[in-house]
Every structure is written in structure tokens, then in C-alpha cells.
Amino acid sequence: MASSSSDLKISVILPVRDGAEYLGQQLTALASQEVQRPWELVIIDDGSVDGSWHIVQEAADQFPAVQLFQNPHPRGKAFALNAGSNAARARTLAFVDQDDVVAPGYLLAMSKALEHHALVCGTVDLHALNADWLARGLRHWPDPNSLTVTLWTDKQRQRGSDWQDLPTLQRVDVPVASGCTLGIQRQLLREAGLFRTDVGVCEDSELCIRLWSAGLRLHHVPEAVLHYRLRPDLPALARQRYGYGHSWAALFLSARTLGMRAPGIRRTALDAASGLLATFSTNRATRARGVARTAFLVGRLVGCIRYRVLYI
């Protein structure tokens, strides 16, 4: 039975594209959530060809309120997120991915946090859905619960009792959240202009940076645990991290006006050397970390060429 928008506590936005292998696990976990007031699930199928749409339709009856949308052709994740956000009827939104699994109590914790904070993120767990060696290899590069983007912003230097009009640079590590565990008040997202569609898979980081520059701060919700699924083998992991690196160059193109800076040749060279060295390790965890780091840097280099920026 559908609920009115005034009754809804939170809208959960779930973009789907060819996710049939794991989608059912996320839908089952979402259907088991207990929230104090009715909530809705908004699913946008972005041109799936693997039976995902059928899985979504079969599971629809499990939810108190649901909206289903289907793009005949892929338009991209950011487009799907924006379509879901525009269709959402609750005042607060939570975004999840098709291949992860929300832990019990996730939506309740997120909805409570969004009553007091405009922008929130949950806690990412790498161990429940992944092999131990893979989780150990990637838990610190990067740490999914302490992701930051470094910006250099202008500040005024104080001399004695007088403020001098002398701009200086101040380093700020801006917290950003993975989109799979992001929550936001609907009106804020709409006023901010929704997710950008021109930054690859970094639409979540770009939004966090943009909102930070407008004075909003990201609030971490420890009680909202999301079980994150890593790519299960090294080739798949390399493809994913290559895509991240490629998109990071697009993010730099977008955020450099806000103070984002390139890491520098020395830092890039050290990262490349340590990554390449780690790929030859006999330790599986170390090798996974090396593959991820190297693929990311290669993707970033190709992204620099694609977007004509020098992010090195």
C-alpha cells in the first residue's frame, strides 16, 4: 500500500545496472529494515540487459512503498541518481548501491541522523562480503571511512591586532563519502543542483566538496553500517580502480577552482613505485593493494589526457 509523502520518513535511492548477481541480497536486506515511520524505495534501472529489471519487479511487493523507473538505454549513474532524487517523496534521501548489503538498523540510524544533520554518511565494513586477504589489502588504501580530498583555500593572515589583506594558503582535508552510504536532505540536494554528470564515478566526492565549499559539513553515523562488496578478483579490481583514477582527473577539472591541487610529481612517483613493487609481492593482501594503486594511477594518467588536465 502506497504512503503519502507526508508520512514517509526517508526515500532510499537505488540505481541499478546489470546487477543481477548480487541485487537480490541488497533488496532482501532493505526489505528487512525497520524504520519508525513508512519509507519508500526508489529504483532506477539504467538500461540493464541481464535480468535485473525482472528481479526488481519481483521484489517490489516486499516494500511499504516503491517507485520503479527504467531507462531503455544507459544514461550513467549520476543521471539515475538525479532521476531518483527528483522522484523521491520523502524529505530525506539515502543512496545505496546494488551490490552492497545494508546491515540491520542502517536506515533507522541514517533517518535519525538526517533529522539533525543535512549531510551524513554511514560506516563501511569491508569484511562481511569479501575474502579476508582482499579486505586486509584494501582497508587502508584508501580507508573507506576516512576519505578526504585536499583543498588549498585562501585565508587572511593576522599580524598583531590588525587583519592584513594578505591572502595565504591553508590546507584543508575535506571529508567525502562514498555514494553507497550517503544521506542528504532532499531540498538541500535540489538547491545544490543535484549530482554532476560530467565527473565519471566521482559524483559523490564532487557533491561533498561542493557542499563543503558552501559551508556544509559531512556528519559520520557510526551506527549505520554498510557491508561493502569489493571486486572479487584482481583483474576486476584493476578495472574498477582504473575507472576511479580516470574519474579523479575529471573531478580535478571540476574542483580545482575550489582549491583542489595535484599531488605533485614526487608523490605520484612514490605512489607508482610502491604500487608496482607491491604487485610482485607473494602476499595476496599486499599484491591486491599494489594492483589497486597501480591501476588507479594508470587511470588517472589516461584521464589527464582525456580531460586535458595535469593532475600529477
The backbone torsions φ and ψ at residue 102, rounded to the nearest 5 degrees and listed phi first, read -75, 140
Can you tell me the distance from the alpha carbon of 53 to that of 69, in angstroms, rounded to the nearest whole number? Answer: 9
Span 110-138, pLDDT tens digits: 999 999 999 999 999 999 999 999 999 99
Residue 294 lies in a domain: yes
Q: What is the CB neighbour count within 10 angstroms for residue 34?
A: 9
Reduced to 3 states, what is the DSSP secondary structure of residue 250?
Answer: helix
Interaxial angle between packed helices 77-87 and 203-213, expressed in degrees from 0 to 180 and rounded to the nearest 10:
60
Q: Quickly list DSSP for 93-158.
A: EEE--TT-EEPTTHHHHHHHHTTT-SEEEEEEESSSSS-HHHHHHHTTTT-TTS-EEEEEEEEEEE
Looking at 172, 197, 230, which one is the last position of a domain?
230
Looking at 182, 206, 230, which one is the last position of a domain?
230
Residue 279 lies in a domain: yes
Residue 187 lies in a domain: yes
Q: How many Cα atoms sit within 13 Å of 200 on the Cβ side?
A: 22
- The domain of 32 spans 11-230
Residues 214 and 271 in one domain: no
Residues 209 and 291 in one domain: no
Looking at 211, 230, 249, which one is the last position of a domain?
230
Residues 126 and 28 in one domain: yes
Residues 179 and 278 in one domain: no
Q: What is the pLDDT of residue 170?
A: 82
Residues 79 and 142 in one domain: yes
Q: From first to last of its 312 residues, what are the pLDDT tens digits of the chain?
A: 456 666 899 999 999 999 999 999 999 999 999 988 899 999 999 999 999 999 999 999 999 899 999 999 999 999 999 999 999 999 999 999 999 999 999 999 999 999 999 999 999 999 999 999 999 999 876 677 788 898 887 654 334 444 445 456 788 889 999 999 999 999 999 999 999 999 999 999 999 999 999 999 999 999 999 999 999 999 999 999 999 999 999 999 999 999 998 889 999 999 999 999 999 999 999 999 999 999 999 999 999 999 999 998
Can you tell me the distance from the alpha carbon of 256 to that of 260, in angstroms, rounded to the nearest whole number? Answer: 4
CB 144 within 8 A of CB 135: no
Residues 246 and 265 in one domain: yes
Residues 72 and 204 in one domain: yes
Residue 5 lies in a domain: no
Residues 119 and 259 in one domain: no
Sign of CA dihedral 282, 288, 289, 292: positive
Can you tell me the distance from the alpha carbon of 204 to that of 180, in angstroms, rounded to the nearest whole number? Answer: 9
Q: What is the pLDDT of residue 155?
A: 58
CATH number at residue 164: 3.90.550.10
Residues 38 and 152 in one domain: yes
Exposure class string for 165-203: b at 16+ Cβ within 10 A, else e: eeeeeeeeebbbbbbbbbbbbbeebeebebbbeebbbbb
Can you tell me the distance from the alpha carbon of 114 to that of 94, in angstroms, rounded to the nearest whole number? Answer: 9
Q: What is the pLDDT of residue 161?
A: 42
Residues 225 and 304 in one domain: no
Q: Residue 42 — left, alpha, or beta (φ > 0 → left; ψ -120 to 50 → alpha)?
A: beta
pTM of the model: 0.91
Q: Which grid cell is 222?
A: 557510526
Residue 171 lies in a domain: yes
Q: What is the pLDDT of residue 4?
A: 60
CB 250 within 8 A of CB 198: yes
Residue 4 lies in a domain: no
Residue 1 lies in a domain: no
Can you tell me the distance from the alpha carbon of 192 to that of 176, in angstroms, rounded to the nearest whole number? Answer: 16
Q: What is the pLDDT of residue 6?
A: 64
Pairing of strands 101-102, 219-227: antiparallel
